[in-house]
Amino acid sequence: MTTPISSVSATPTLTPTPAAAGGGDGGLRKAAEAFEAVILRQLMSSMRQAKLADDIFGSSATDNFREMADARTADSLAAMRQFGIADMVERQFRGQLGGLAAGRAGGGVQ
């Protein structure tokens, strides 16, 4: 007979912090980096479309591979935070979240 999972006593787990659970500062940072990655993917896609001549060995498989490689490159570049897009987005939303928190603490807008 098997024991149901709910009745098995496991070691106590730590409660995740809001940042680790995808909320708080960690969630905002991840969202800002993801937005920067989307912008960089679009930039790279536009650069690829502006090619001067057709590829000699071009095929749909090559195009698919380049798209995947570009997406991975954009994710890596966004994680490095060298373009500043994620920092600006994070700063803007952090200011808005700070205003919301102040509004809630002060009783809200009347």
- Provide the pLDDT for residue 16: 41
**Rounded CA gap, 56 and 49, in Å?**
15
CB atoms within 10 A of CB 74: 20
- Provide the pLDDT for residue 34: 94
Beta carbons of 90 and 29 less than 8 angstroms apart: yes
- Provide the pLDDT for residue 10: 46
- Provide the pLDDT for residue 62: 83
- Provide the pLDDT for residue 99: 72
Stated as kind and residue range, the H or E segment containing 28 is helix 24-49
- Provide the pLDDT for residue 17: 42
pLDDT in tens, the chain (110 residues): 555 554 444 444 444 444 444 455 678 999 999 999 999 999 999 998 887 777 777 788 888 898 999 999 999 999 998 899 999 999 998 888 777 666 666 655 54
